[in-house]
A and B are shown apart, each in its own frame.
Chain A
Amino acid sequence: MKNNTYWKKNIQYISILLTLWFIVSFGCGILFVEQLNTIQIRGFKLGFWFAQQGSIFGFVIIIFTYIYLMNRLDNKLNKDN
């Protein structure tokens, strides 16, 4: 694998994960909060839950996914060189 492919793949991962980052926080917690608040799961209105809990869990999952993907990519690069 060339450095160029490595970088392109990295950019691709970043774009997908940052889209998710935007959706769980700005999307679900702010822009569409009122629509989601009409859905209630146990004691939580969904939009409110995303704003105060869900987005934070989402952030943790996003970072650990990136760690996993990049470690895999690093290994591939090392093997090919």
Chain B
Amino acid sequence: MELQYWIWIAVGLSFSLYIGIAIWSRAGSTKEFYVAGGGVHPIANGMATAADWMSAASFISMAGIISFSGYDGSVYLMGWTGGYVLLALLLAPYLRKFGKFTVPDFIGDRYYSNTARSVAVFCALIVSFTYIAGQMRGVGVVFSRYLEVDIVTGVLIGMGIVLFYAVLGGMKGITYTQVAQYCVLIFAFMVPAIYISFLVTGNVVPQFGFGATDAEGVYLLDKLDGLHKELGFHEYTSGSKSMFDVFCITMALMVGTAGLPHVIVRFFTVKKVSDARKSAGWALLFIAILYTTAPAIAVFSRTNLIETVSDKPYEQMPYWFEKWETTGLLGFTDKNEDGRIQYTADAATNELDVDVDIMVLANPEIADLPNWVIALLAAGALAAALSTAAGLLLVISSAVSHDLLKKMVMPDISDKGELIAARIAAIAAVCLAGWFGINPPGFVAATVALAFGLAASSFFPAILLGIFSKRINKEGAISGMLVGVSLMLFYMLKFKFGWFGGGEKADWWFGISPEGFGTVAMVANFVVTLIVSSRTPAPSKEIQQLVENIRKP
């Protein structure tokens, strides 16, 4: 059957499934809208968290990024999984015990101050908007690449679907569609991975194939190291970044993960404290399936690519080469006009431009898989993008309707009124996200690091100290958050956008990249919070009692 038909079938079926779930799980109260009624099974919540967490970038780009950076790519693998340990051990159970709806709820109540609440709302909004713009763009790109519609139409279709189930079902609708989306995306990711692993190494488990030998009996990683050396790239299994920077980036991503509001809020949806711990475990297990497969795919496709193209005549390229050339993901310029493809680390002689996304997207074709696998991949990429977008959307709408409206501006609003406000806020947020998806600001890629840095430098210390110390007061927490966030914003604006005089790599403080600076800003937040708190009066008996309560199971 034609590829186009398969794709329409796969996308159509998965979308009708999401719509069906949305109709079945309409939200009738704010509790259902914000936290799905609070009775989600830990395994279901684990799947939903995994889908929520794994974005279009995890699904499409991550394997490719690792493929081109080798050991340096480990920062994403460790950074985007290690945060779940922090969540499970330090945050999730206690926030569940606290039992409200949002992250600003906790900050505002624990630090008995609407100023603290406002700072938290501000951070939640910035972090979520940065993220959601990229997701809507991802939806548009997948549509345009596979279904031959233009990006604008793609974004509009994506908006329509998210709008439908997020506005109708709130967290309840989002949770159960995310469970379905996890199943679609993991299946779509694993089928080509298993097939390619078998093809290259004869082992069906990619995690084992990764360390296995090829047909000639050479270990794949040794072979890749050799190829890299020949072509002038740094060795695949060792890095090019400084150890200190790798350390800081990994830490910033881990702590940022633990501080992201759309991840934290998922743990409010389970029934009890022990379920919050369990679902963090399940979430990481479900994420680990993809995250331990991605580096294996990276190696398979990197070796495959180099062996297929390096120093081979352009005329003899397989059919997929030409196809991906037309999409712009592959580019060949014959600089020395010998008709062969020279692929090297030196920009002056290199003749091949490869986009990172091709490593996952072109895999089925490179491995000669049937058309339905390609269709599945399209549905999987859409599932990854939509599930993350929906989770972020909910954080944005609850920050507006609950934290701003109900808690600060109109405390007397009825539950019904708040629910209407939440839906209106969700609609407005979808439209804004769609607008960003259609007119992507050039800084989307640069600001993803900002999202993690901001989460790490604002929420994480405030929540952690709020649970583990009774002495931390509002003066400490507010000044800590403000210092952390301002420091992070300053560094990002200076080195990513050229404000405040700009600066090059050589000017980085202690050699730390903007991606890793969240670690420094977080430490600054901790230090300021502790010092200011120790010099100002302790919180009241009631607040200390609140902390005492959170700690009981």
Contact = CB atoms under 8 A, between A and B. Distances in A.
The binding surface of chain B is classed by DSSP as helix
Interface string A29-67: 111011001000111110011011101110110111011
Given A26-B250, A31-B247, A43 B210 contact: yes
B347 interface: no
A7 B94 CA distance: 12
Interface string B277-294: 110110011001001100
A29 B77 CA distance: 11
The binding surface of chain A is classed by DSSP as helix
Nearest to B247: A30
Contacts of A14: 89-90
B285 A60 contact: yes
Range of interface residues on chain A? 35 or more
B552 A56 contact: no
B81 A59 contact: yes
A43 B277 contact: no
A49 B211 contact: yes
A51 to B, nearest CB: 4
A55 B85 contact: no
A11 to B, nearest CB: 8
A53 B210 contact: yes
B420 interface: no
Contact of B295 (A33, A34, A53, A57): A53
Given A53-B207, A63-B281, A71 B274 contact: yes
B243 A31 contact: yes
Given A17-B89, A59-B284, A3 B552 contact: yes
A47 B364 CA distance: 31
Given A10-B551, A43-B212, 8 more contacts: A3-B551, A25-B78, A25-B254, A33-B71, A37-B238, A41-B211, A55-B78, A60-B284
18 contacts: A7-B551, A14-B90, A17-B85, A21-B85, A43-B210, A43-B212, A53-B292, A56-B291, A59-B284, A59-B288, A63-B84, A63-B88, A66-B277, A67-B88, A70-B274, A71-B274, A74-B274, A77-B553
